[in-house]
Amino acid sequence: MGKQQHIVVLSGAGVSAESGIQTFRDGDGLWENHNVHDVATPEAWQRDPELVLRFYNERRQQIRKAAPNAAHKAIAHLEDGFKVTVITQNIDDLHERGGSSEVLHLHGEIGKARSTLDDRLVINLGQSDIYPGDLCDKGSQLRPHIVWFGEDVPMYPIAHEITQTADLVIVVGTSLQVQPASFLASAAPYHVARIVVDPKASADTPAFYLRDAAGVAMPVLVDYLLENGIED
- Site for ligand APR contains 199 (CB under 6 A): yes
Residue type, 177: Q
- Site for ligand APR contains 200 (CB under 6 A): yes
Q: First CA to last CA across the chain, in angstroms?
A: 17
The closest residue (CB) to ligand APR is: 14
Near ligand APR by CB under 6 A: residue from 59, 72, 107, 145: 107
Least spacing, CB of residue 108 vs ligand APR, in Å: 9
Contact mark string toward ligand APR, 76..95, x via CB under 6 A? -------------x------
Annotated binding residue 41? no
Least spacing, CB of residue 106 vs ligand APR, in Å: 7
How far apart (Å, rounded) are the C-alpha atoms in residues 73 and 28? 29
How far apart (Å, rounded) are the C-alpha atoms in residues 116 and 120? 10
Annotated binding residue 174? yes
Annotated binding residue 224? no
How far apart (Å, rounded) are the C-alpha atoms in residues 51 and 35? 12
Name every residue whose Cβ is closer than 8 Å to that of residue 172 and which is 6 or more positions away in sequence.
9, 10, 11, 12, 14, 15, 71, 75, 196, 197, 198, 214, 218
- Site for ligand APR contains 109 (CB under 6 A): no
Near ligand APR by CB under 6 A: residue from 6, 24, 115, 222: 24
Residues 150-189 that bind ligand APR (CB under 6 A): 173-175, 177-178
- Site for ligand APR contains 104 (CB under 6 A): no
- Site for ligand APR contains 219 (CB under 6 A): no
Active-site residue numbers? Answer: 107
Q: How many CA atoms lie within 13 A of 108 on its CB side?
A: 23
Least spacing, CB of residue 7 vs ligand APR, in Å: 17
Q: C-alpha 228: how far from its chain's center?
A: 27
- State the Cα torsion 217-222-223-227 to the nearest 10°: 140
Annotated binding residue 91? yes
Axis crossing angle, helix 214-228 with helix 70-77, rounded to the nearest 10: 20
Q: Which residues bind ligand APR (CB under 6 A)?
A: 12-14, 17-18, 23-26, 36, 89, 107, 173-175, 177-178, 197-200, 213-214
Q: Which residue ranges make up the annotated binding site for NAD(+)?
A: 12-31, 89-92, 173-175, 214
